[in-house]
Amino acid sequence: LSRANLSGANLSDADLTHANLNKANLSKANLSGACLDSATLSEANLSGANLEEADLGSVDLTLADLSGANLRDANLIDAKLTDAILTGAIMPDGTTHD
C-alpha cells in the first residue's frame, strides 16, 4: 500500500499490522481502533485522520504529517515519531500539540 491514496477512507478497526503505508495519503481517513502495530507510515499524510484508540505500537511515523490528527487514547509505545508534523494533533492524553 506504499503511496496508496486512501484519503477519507473508512478503515476503522482494520488490521494493518506490518503494512507498508510509506508515503500513503491517509488524510481525513477514519482509522479509529485500527491495528497498525509495526506498520511503516514514514512520510505518510495522516493530516486530519481519526486515529482514536488505534494501536500504533512500534509504528514508523518518521516525517509523517499528523497535523490535526486525533490520537486520543492511541497506543504510541515505541512509535518512531522522528521529524513528524504534530501541529494541532490531539495527543493520547487529550492535549493538543502546539
- Average pLDDT per 10 consecutive residues for the chain, totaling 98 residues: 97 98 98 97 98 97 98 97 98 95
Q: Are 55 and 32 in contact (CB under 8 A)?
A: no
pLDDT at 98: 86
3-state helix/strand/coil string of 73-90: CCECCCCECCCCECCCCE
pLDDT for position 4: 98
